[in-house]
């Protein structure tokens, strides 16, 4: 009973901090990032997403997975935002993370709420005829406007096909509101091979401008 009460208080405190952070912000503008109006390079992983719908996509590129051989299919074809796992771990507050990339508020966006996205993990060693999907557990954390850290969340991906897996939906908790950035990566005991990457599609967010 006491543990339940403490957990409830912690959640209430975190939620209260989010509400306090957002209290001075105007109503937000909704976006569903599908990247289909961006150009994917013919050379894989060389066309940065950059700034898109008020967010900076650090480490992400525009990619168009080949049908049936692209490892993970786009949720809304043809394009996805793709990032390759970086080799060095970084320390984000209390979390040690091997990152894919970071999405942050671009100039003109004060903060953003992140509600959901579709994703899948793949392996591309540039030697096989096809990119292959692979199971993974993606970890995320972020920071609010006041500098406090958002709680870590994890999402699992289990491929439905080796070369044409469907992306899965990841839904964020209410605590992922009033953010200035979020980082995608792999934490703890999760190990992915060199050449591992993540495809993200239909990332839904609401920007405070």
In this prediction, residues 156-172 reach a mean pLDDT of: 96
Residue 165 contacts residue 120 (beta carbons within 8 Å) = yes
> Residue 17 in 3-state DSSP?
helix
What per-residue confidence (pLDDT) applies to 13? 41
What per-residue confidence (pLDDT) applies to 176? 98
The CATH number given to 2-208 is 2.60.120
Entry pTM:
0.86
Residues 6+ apart with CB under 8 A from 71: 65, 120, 122, 123, 124, 130, 131, 132, 133, 162, 163, 164, 165, 199
> Residue 9 in 3-state DSSP?
helix
What per-residue confidence (pLDDT) applies to 190? 57
Task: Kindly tell me if the per-residue pLDDT of 41 is higher than 90.
Answer: no
pLDDT digits (tens, 9 = 90+) for 9-20: 333 344 444 544
Q: Residue 131: which pLDDT band, with cuts at 50, 70 and 90?
A: confident
Task: Kindly tell me if the per-residue pLDDT of 55 is higher than 90.
Answer: yes
Between 91 and 192, whose confidence is greater?
91
């Amino acid at each position: 009973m006491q543990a339940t009460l403490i957990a409830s208080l912690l959640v209430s405190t975190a939620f209260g901090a989010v509400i306090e952070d957002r209290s001075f912000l105007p109503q937000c503008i909704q976006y569903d990032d599908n990247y289909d109006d961006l150009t994917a390079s013919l050379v894989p992983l060389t066309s940065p997403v950059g700034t898109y719908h008020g967010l900076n996509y650090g480490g992400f590129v525009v990619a168009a997975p080949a049908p049936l051989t692209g490892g993970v299919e786009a949720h809304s074809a043809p394009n996805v935002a793709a990032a390759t796992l970086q080799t060095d771990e970084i320390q984000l507050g209390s979390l040690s993370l091997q990152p894919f990339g970071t999405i942050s508020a671009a100039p003109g966006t004060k903060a953003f709420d992140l509600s959901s996205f579709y994703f899948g993990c793949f392996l591309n060693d540039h030697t096989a005829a096809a990119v292959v999907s692979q199971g993974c557990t993606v970890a995320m954390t972020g920071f609010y406007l006041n500098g406090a850290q958002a709680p870590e969340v994890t999402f699992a991906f289990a491929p439905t096909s080796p070369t044409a897996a469907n992306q899965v939906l990841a839904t964020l908790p209410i605590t992922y509101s009033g953010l200035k950035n979020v980082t995608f990566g792999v934490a703890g005991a999760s190990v992915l091979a060199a050449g591992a990457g993540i495809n993200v599609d239909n990332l839904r967010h609401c920007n405070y401008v």
